[in-house]
Structure 1
Amino acid sequence: MWIQKRITIRVKARGFHLITKEILDQLPEIREVEIGMLNLFIQHTSASLTINENADPTVRIDLETQINRMIPEGSEHYLHNIEGDDDMPAHIKASIFGNNLNIPIDAGKLATGTWQGIYLGEHRDHGTQRVIVATLQGLDKSV
């Protein structure tokens, strides 16, 4: 079985957001896969995907705080600033965290750890609706 869908993530404020439920809600076909793999690819250069703690929201706050300290806005070293002070730092952050994830599917569920969830890293002050291409491959439970 191969399925590919574009998943729309509503506009989010700057920061890290748990989007596991949004992914699962828009990709119910996962429940039909006995064993497989889900690839998620975000089609944007100023947002990222990562997997981390899904229970304590302070983890998301700490990630945002630390990445902003490591990659500050308004640096005189950035040449690319036509879209504002948050533009080039957003591209750097997206490159560091990455634009895709591969997640195993086991018995119709994401094979993530107990405390793991999928995050969208929104690195712009005024982000937009984000699109993630989801490619699901695997053996159908009915086979």
Structure 2
Amino acid sequence: MGWLQKQIQLSEKDRGFHLITDELESQLPELSQYQVGLAHIFIQHTSASLTLNENADPDVRRDMEIFSLQAIPDGADYYRHVLEGPDDMPAHVKSSLWGASVTLPITDGRFNLGTWQGVWLGEHREQGGRRRLIVTLQGNLYR
């Protein structure tokens, strides 16, 4: 049984939902050492989120962002937390709704995702910056 915990820094992203599976895997060469296990991925920010969804059609990510902007608008007059800009409080709401972590199975040194699944970063700020993730791998190592 082996454990690894590692901080990963994602490249800066525009506002919206972004497929980050390949970026995660490229920064986790250690993943190939795990025969079977779990990967827990946690984002260290309160204005961005992680979720698992469609990995093929980018229209799904675009549609999710349109829904997100309509359901949780920037600058609504009922927000009291406004010191950091009109997109900050809505970003906190979206982060809580979509979540701060995902847990994925590991099989044969890879994330064991469904055919059409990928890990998404929800960037909910106009200028969120580079986002930090903590990845914890646990499982049986190849011998």
Q: CA separation in 2, counterparts of 1:74 and 1:42?
A: 25
Structure-1-length-normalised TM-score: 0.98
Instruction: Return 5+ residue gaps in structure 1 as ranges.
Output: none
Residue of structure 2 equivalent to 1:36: 37
Residue of structure 2 equivalent to 1:122: 123
Deviation (angstroms), 1:42? 0.1
Residue of structure 1 equivalent to 2:3: 2
Q: CA separation in 2, counterparts of 1:141 and 1:62?
A: 41
Deviation (angstroms), 1:32? 1.1
Q: Tell me, yes or no, if structure 1 residue 112 matches structure 2 residue 113.
A: yes
Secondary structure of 2:25's aligned partner: helix
Percent identical pairs in the alignment equals: 51
Q: CA separation in 2, counterparts of 1:91 and 1:59?
A: 22
Residue identity in the other structure for 2:29: P
- Ranges of 4+ aligned residues in structure 1 off by more than 2 Å: none
Question: How many aligned positions are there?
Answer: 142
Instruction: Report 1:73-112 matches (<5 A).
Output: 73-112=74-113
Superposition RMSD on alpha carbons, in Å?
Answer: 0.5
Residue identity in the other structure for 2:43: I
Deviation (angstroms), 1:114? 0.5
Residue identity in the other structure for 1:118: V
Structure-2-length-normalised TM-score: 0.98
Residue identity in the other structure for 2:82: N
Q: CA separation in 1, counterparts of 2:128 and 2:108?
A: 35
Deviation (angstroms), 1:72? 0.7
Residue of structure 1 equivalent to 2:67: 66
Residue identity in the other structure for 1:47: A
